[in-house]
Amino acid sequence: MSRQAKRTLLQRLRKNLKHVIPPMLRTKKAREFAPEELQELCEFTGLEPEAVKEYLSRKKGRRISNEFDWLNPKNAPEYLWFYRGSRTYLFAADEAWDRAVELTEPGMKCLDFGGGGGRNALAMAAKGAKVYYVDIGLINSAFTKFRARRQNLELQVLDPLVQIDGRWVLDTAEAAKLEGGFDLIVCDNVLEHVHDYHLVLAKLAAALAPQGRILECTPFKREKAYLFKKKEQAWDIHLPPKVPMLEAMQACGMRRGEGEGLWERSA
């Protein structure tokens, strides 16, 4: 019998109330949009600012989850296909992650893995690092390329279509490994979107320079109780980890570095 089925109704009710009541009481603060970010999105998409704001504020019908439900991925290739073609992930742009920027030094070879709209890649490039970016999303990659050109920043966008054993496959981590020699690889809110993330991590570890480090921030999908909501989807926007992060890192020869989410080679 599954753990979910074993739970009593009271336990499920208690757990659900904890998840349902606080968000209902919370007053949602309207998001502020940086004028530059808005401008770049308008120019790239050709949309009017009002439409772009609707996507950015995730208005009903303009959400990542709407697009995900429409594509309804049922297996790993279909899951990858959602991210490959997603339009709505473009509107997840925000300020750069300060930790990624702090760890970046001029001249370093850095990779923004799953870099989305390029917020970290562009900030690291502005700091004088030699920055590479790879993302499965065609639109994200094109947008980031456009932003780099517009801001006069040097950025290498890696193509995730690579040849393995004579066959062309979509593999962002393999593309990173083929380039290799990175001093810093940033995985900001991406590994929870990747099927078998621990295998991806092994390739990223292999793409590091000898003293290279990985910085990750990974909000894996947590187990939820489903009393009021529809049943848990096997392929959701965030996936649960098959292996705990520490175990996955250790398996590819990495140990904890200084501070949350920083990993360095064990030897």
State which of positions 168-197 bind ligand SAM (CB under 6 A): 172, 188-190, 193-194
- The DSSP output letter for 58 is T
The single residue among 140, 144, 204, 263 that binds ligand SAM, judged by CB under 6 A, is 140
Q: Where are the beta strands (DSSP E) in 129-257?
A: 130-134, 156-157, 161-164, 167-170, 182-188, 208-217, 254-256
226: its two tokens: 């489903």
Q: Where are the beta strands (DSSP E) in the chain?
A: 109-113, 130-134, 156-157, 161-164, 167-170, 182-188, 208-217, 254-256, 262-265
216 binds ligand SAM (CB under 6 A): no
Give Cβ neighbours of residue 251 (< 8 Å, ≥ 6 apart): 198, 202, 243
User: Three-state SS for 193?
Assistant: helix
Chain centre to alpha carbon of residue 91: 13
115 binds ligand SAM (CB under 6 A): yes
62 binds ligand SAM (CB under 6 A): no
Measured from the CB atom, is 108 or 187 closer to ligand SAM? 187
83 binds ligand SAM (CB under 6 A): yes
Rounded least distance, CB 171 to ligand SAM, Å: 8
114 binds ligand SAM (CB under 6 A): yes
Measured from the CB atom, is 100 or 225 closer to ligand SAM? 100
Torsion, Cα 53 57 62 66, to 10 degrees, reads: 160
Rounded least distance, CB 109 to ligand SAM, Å: 18
Rounded least distance, CB 97 to ligand SAM, Å: 7
141 binds ligand SAM (CB under 6 A): no
Which residues of this chain interact with ligand SAM, rule CB under 6 A?
83, 89, 92, 114-117, 119, 135-137, 140, 172, 188-190, 193-194
